[in-house]
Amino acid sequence: MAETTPAAGATQPQFAIEKLYVKDLSLEVPNAPNIFMEQGQPAVDLNLHTDGKHIRDDAYHVTLTVTVTAKMGDKTLFLIEVVQGGIFRISGVLPDMLPQVLGITCPNLLYPYAREVVSDVSVRAGFMPIVLQPINFEMLYQQQAQAASAPAAADGQTH
């Protein structure tokens, strides 16, 4: 049986977490204290945003912004926004694969930390813990890529 080895001069992809941290955290309870007297099940809205940037050498900074808004009718119970940041060492990755690493792999690592912060802050604000469901960042990345290419495809069509 023949052994497969990397091609001469090819480098193996390297990935390491350098630092994980909360970059920004915001809590608003605009209708306190009266909102604590309301009864019922709140409607919870979740918004996500990721951003990845090259810092230097093989270091990249990725942020995941998680915004959770809970409302009871037309009244806002609370708004929590956490920006979970990470510094990652990435090398040996093909240039066309780097956006996927920054848009899928890194947010997958950051999300559990952001989930924990949201849950903790909701409890500290006097509400029940908010338990965010897992997110498929690969699917989100693909949807964003399709949405970005759709206007370009429409511009290239002839009528």
Q: Is residue 6 in a domain? A: no
Q: Is residue 1 in a domain? A: no
Q: Is residue 52 in a domain? A: yes
Q: What average pLDDT does the segment 16-36 reach?
A: 97
Q: Read off the pLDDT of residues 52-61 as tens digits, 9 standing for 90 and up.
A: 999 999 999 9
In the predicted structure, residue 5 carries a pLDDT above the cut 90 = no
For residues 6 and 45, which has the higher predicted lDDT (pLDDT)? 45
Q: Read off the pLDDT of residues 69-100 as tens digits, 9 standing for 90 and up.
A: 999 999 999 999 999 999 999 999 999 999 99
For residues 152 and 156, what is the distance between their CA atoms, to the nearest angstrom? 6
Residue-range definition of the domain harbouring residue 131 = 14-147
In the predicted structure, residue 8 carries a pLDDT above the cut 80 = no
Based on the structure, what is the number of domains in the chain? 1
Q: Is residue 154 in a domain? A: no
- Please say whether the beta carbons of 124 and 118 come within 8 A: no
Percent of the chain topping pLDDT 90: 80
CATH number of the domain that residue 77 is part of:
3.10.420.10
For residues 17 and 7, what is the distance between their CA atoms, to the nearest angstrom? 27
Give pLDDT, residue 89. Answer: 98
Pairing of strands 14-28, 59-72: unpaired
Q: What average pLDDT does the segment 62-74 reach?
A: 96
Q: Is residue 132 in a domain? A: yes
